[in-house]
C-alpha cells in the first residue's frame, strides 16, 4: 500500500472481530516496529504481545471506565503493550543531553506509528491507547522498574469501519520563516 494512502486512510478502530491474526501479518506488523527510527539507533522499545483472554481482560481493567477503547481489548485477538527502557534515548555516557530528558516517548511513538500503518496496510485495526494506569499494567505483566509502560493497542480485524476524524487545516499550524507567519 502507498504510504500516503496508509497515513490518510488509517483510523482508530474500537470494534473488532475475534478472528485470529494470520502469523505472517503479525510478523510483518512487528517488523515495522523494528525499522522505526530512534535516538542514536538505541531502539529502546520493548513490545509485549498479549493473547491470553484473561490477561487482555485484566489489561482492559487498567483503562478508566469512560475510555472508549475499553471493550476493544476483549474483542481483539491481540493486545500490544508498548514499553521502553528508560535512560537510553537522549542519553550520552549516562547523562541526558537535551532539555527534553528521556526521549523514549518519542521513539515509542514512532515505533507505534509504524505499527499502526503496517497493520492498516494488512487490513488490521489498531487504536493507540494512552489513558490507562501504567503502574497496574507493569504489575500485571511483570515489567521491571527500568522499563516504562507507554501505550497499548488492540490488534485485530475491524468489526466496523470507523468514522473519519477532522483535522486542522495546514494554515492553522504551519509557519513560514518565523513562528506565527502563516
Ligand X SMILES: Cc1cc2nc3c(=O)[nH]c(=O)nc-3n(C[C@H](O)[C@H](O)[C@H](O)COP(=O)(O)O)c2cc1C
| Residue nearer to ligand X on the CB measure, 59 or 69 | 69
Among 36, 110, 141, 162, binds ligand X (CB under 6 A): 162
Decide if residue 80 touches ligand X (CB under 6 A): no
Cell of 157: 480485524
Supply the minimum distance, in Å, between the C-beta of residue 15 and ligand X: 11
CA dihedral of residues 80, 29, 39, 9 (deg, nearest 10): -100
Cα–Cα dist 91/101, whole Å: 8
Using CB under 6 A as the criterion, what x/- string covers residues 31-70 for binding ligand X? ------------------------------------xxx-
9 binds ligand X (CB under 6 A): no
Rounded Cα–Cα distance for residues 100 and 90 (Å): 8
Residue 145 parent element (H or E) = none
154 close to 110: Cβ distance less than 8 angstroms:
no
Residue 129 binds to ligand X (criterion: CB under 6 A): yes
* Options 130, 144, 146, 174; binder of ligand X; rule CB under 6 A: 130
Q: How far apart are CA 30 and CA 40, in angstroms?
A: 20
> Minimum distance from CB of 118 to ligand X (Å)?
15
**Contacts with ligand X, residue ranges (CB under 6 A):** 11-12, 67-69, 127-131, 162, 165
Amino acid at each position: 500500500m502507498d504510504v500516503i494512502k496508509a497515513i490518510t486512510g488509517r483510523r482508530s478502530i474500537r470494534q473488532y472481530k475475534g478472528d485470529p491474526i494470520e502469523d505472517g501479518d503479525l510478523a510483518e506488523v512487528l517488523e515495522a516496529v523494528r525499522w522505526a527510527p530512534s535516538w542514536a539507533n538505541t531502539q529502546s522499545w520493548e513490545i509485549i504481545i498479549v493473547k491470553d483472554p484473561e490477561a487482555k481482560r485484566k489489561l482492559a481493567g487498567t483503562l478508566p471506565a469512560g475510555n472508549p477503547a475499553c471493550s476493544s481489548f476483549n474483542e481483539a485477538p491481540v493486545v500490544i503493550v508498548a514499553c521502553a527502557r528508560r535512560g537510553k534515548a537522549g542519553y550520552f555516557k549516562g547523562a541526558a543531553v537535551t532539555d527534553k530528558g528521556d526521549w523514549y516517548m518519542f521513539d515509542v511513538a514512532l515505533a507505534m506509528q509504524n505499527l499502526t500503518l503496517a497493520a492498516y496496510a494488512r487490513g488490521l485495526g489498531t487504536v493507540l491507547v494512552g489513558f490507562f494506569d501504567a503502574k497496574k499494567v507493569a504489575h500485571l505483566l511483570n515489567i521491571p522498574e527500568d522499563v516504562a509502560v507507554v501505550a497499548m493497542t488492540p490488534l485485530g480485524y475491524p468489526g466496523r469501519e470507523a468514522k473519519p476524524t477532522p483535522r486542522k487545516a495546514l494554515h492553522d499550524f504551519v509557519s513560514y520563516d518565523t513562528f506565527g507567519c502563516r
